[in-house]
């Protein structure tokens, strides 16, 4: 038998692994920053028109790749609480996440996340919460006009083309009907005002981080969940999530995955089946909210691989089909409407967005919204050893699923610009990678994430 300690190949492997582990996060961070810098620099340098927004007037100071304007604001009503929360989080978040009981940690994560979302939005004053949902391109204005849901579904296809009579606004036409029906429901229960609906969106959005933490703990990765908590709760995604319907999709998708993880790891068959059925209902609903979210099936498969259990698959798939086929029975079949969506997409501003630019600029937007530390976290995955895979199987699989979902969405050509909000459902799973970075990275890396959120919120007018 060959003694491992004296074998020269093992010496070389053991020598390279620590170096690779130290080097790759720096390479990933540098790549993330480099892509962001290039994406901002290229349009002005090349003169290429990349159109992140539809042209409005000559005074607009567009800042591709962001779907927003250059509009620095050095102070706003939310500035002081946002900065204070960032400082406290940088100083204490990791310690608190490690010491609190699990239930208290979840509640604290929700409360802190809610405060982070609201304080950043309120940098722009109260309109920071209300301006987007009250935008006629969004869902809420159309939701107020809906009086007959069956008639709405019957006429849906005729209203999808851009130049049709009674054409839907951009976001309504660009999503399956459950997205609009969510807001129709708010209107029906008296929460259809701009502020009231915005508060509901924020309350739902703040639950995304606890959902991911629940999924990790169910998969026997509570330690990683605790280390991930500060990055999930205080991510720069909050800049774009507080006023975006996509934040609702992200939260429902995350809870669907959490339920699937609970179903896959439940000790008794009854609870396993119940959690799996609930997971399918949530994930089926999310599929009927956004055409891109069947990609969450990638992270669902990662959960089942991590749990080494396929028991939830038929139950979750069947309950998801109940939702999808229920809409089909009502006259709205996902597979019939997706080709119509592609036509509408190419009719609009997407046709003026050059794919060679946006293929990379999308990644820049990802690193602005999820934070540049994600570049370091994802690169660090490449240094995973066999021992690391054994110890961190679940978080590695979830983070890898995040990478695959983003890669597929980017390659599809149906995500050109605006992914700072469109990819919100994928970003929490990428952020799990930050918890796997070495401790020396996590402390100052959290500071970088917090600073990114504050800078983006204060320098740009983001319309989400």
Q: Is the pLDDT of residue 275 over 80?
A: yes
Quote the pLDDT of residue 351. Answer: 85
Q: Is the pLDDT of residue 92 over 60?
A: yes
Kindly report, residue by residue over 370-379, the tens digit of the pLDDT.
999 999 999 9
Rounded distance between C-alpha atoms, residue 139 and residue 182, angstroms: 9
Helices (H), strands (E): how many in the chain?
24, 2
Give which of 232, 205, 235, 241 is closest to 109, Cα–Cα: 232
Kindly report, residue by residue over 189-203, the tens digit of the pLDDT.
999 999 999 999 999
Quote the pLDDT of residue 10. Answer: 43
Quote the pLDDT of residue 130. Answer: 86
**Chain Cα centroid distance, residue 7:** 46
User: Higher model confidence: residue 73 or residue 318?
Assistant: 318
Percentage with pLDDT > 70 across the chain? 95
Kindly report, residue by residue over 111-159, the tens digit of the pLDDT.
999 999 999 999 999 888 888 888 888 999 999 999 999 999 999 999 9
Beta bridge partners, 460, equal: 70
Mean pLDDT (the chain, rounded): 92
Rounded distance between C-alpha atoms, residue 78 and residue 368, angstroms: 20
Beta bridge partners, 62, equal: 69
């Amino acid at each position: 038998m060959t003694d491992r300690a004296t074998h020269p190949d093992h010496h070389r492997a053991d020598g390279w692994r620590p170096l690779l582990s130290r080097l790759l996060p720096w390479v990933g961070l540098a790549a993330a920053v480099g892509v962001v810098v290039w994406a901002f620099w290229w349009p002005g340098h090349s003169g290429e028109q990349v159109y992140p927004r539809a042209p409005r007037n000559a005074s607009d100071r567009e800042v591709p790749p962001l779907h927003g304007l250059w509009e620095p604001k050095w102070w706003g009503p939310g500035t002081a609480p946002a900065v204070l929360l960032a400082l406290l989080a940088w100083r204490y978040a990791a310690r608190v996440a490690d010491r609190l009981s699990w239930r208290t940690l979840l509640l604290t994560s929700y409360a802190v996340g809610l405060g982070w979302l609201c304080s950043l939005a309120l940098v722009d004053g109260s309109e920071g919460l209300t301006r987007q949902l009250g935008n006629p391109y969004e869902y809420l204005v159309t939701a107020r006009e809906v009086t007959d849901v069956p008639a709405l579904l019957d006429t849906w296809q005729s209203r999808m083309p851009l130049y049709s009579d009674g054409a839907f606004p951009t976001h309504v036409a660009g999503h399956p009907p459950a997205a609009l029906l969510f807001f129709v429901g708010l209107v029906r229960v008296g929460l259809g005002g701009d502020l009231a609906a915005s508060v509901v969106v924020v309350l739902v959005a703040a639950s995304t981080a606890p959902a991911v933490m629940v999924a990790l703990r169910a998969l026997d990765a509570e330690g990683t969940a605790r280390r991930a908590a500060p990055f999930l709760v205080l991510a720069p995604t909050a800049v774009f999530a507080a006023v975006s319907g996509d934040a609702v999709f992200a939260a429902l998708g995350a809870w669907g995955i959490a339920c699937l993880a609970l179903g896959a790891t439940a000790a008794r068959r009854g609870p396993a089946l119940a959690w799996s059925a609930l997971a399918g209902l949530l994930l089926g609903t999310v599929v009927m909210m956004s055409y891109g979210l069947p990609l969450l099936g990638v992270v669902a498969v990662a959960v089942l691989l991590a749990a080494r259990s396929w028991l939830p698959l038929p139950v979750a798939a069947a309950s998801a089909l109940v939702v999808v086929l229920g809409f089909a029975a009502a006259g709205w079949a996902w597979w019939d409407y997706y080709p119509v969506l592609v036509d509408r997409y190419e009719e609009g501003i997407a046709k003026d967005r050059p794919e060679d630019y946006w293929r990379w600029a999308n990644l820049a937007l990802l690193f602005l919204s999820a934070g540049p530390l994600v570049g370091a976290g994802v690169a660090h995955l490449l240094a995973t050893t066999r021992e690391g895979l054994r110890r961190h199987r679940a978080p590695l699989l979830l983070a890898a699923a995040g990478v695959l979902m983003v890669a597929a969405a980017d390659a599809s050509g149906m995500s050109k610009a605006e992914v700072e909000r469109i990819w919100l459902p994928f970003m929490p799973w990428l952020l799990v990678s930050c918890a796997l970075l070495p401790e020396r990275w996590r402390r100052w890396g959290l500071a970088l994430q917090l600073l990114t959120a504050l800078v983006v919120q204060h320098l740009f007018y983001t319309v989400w």
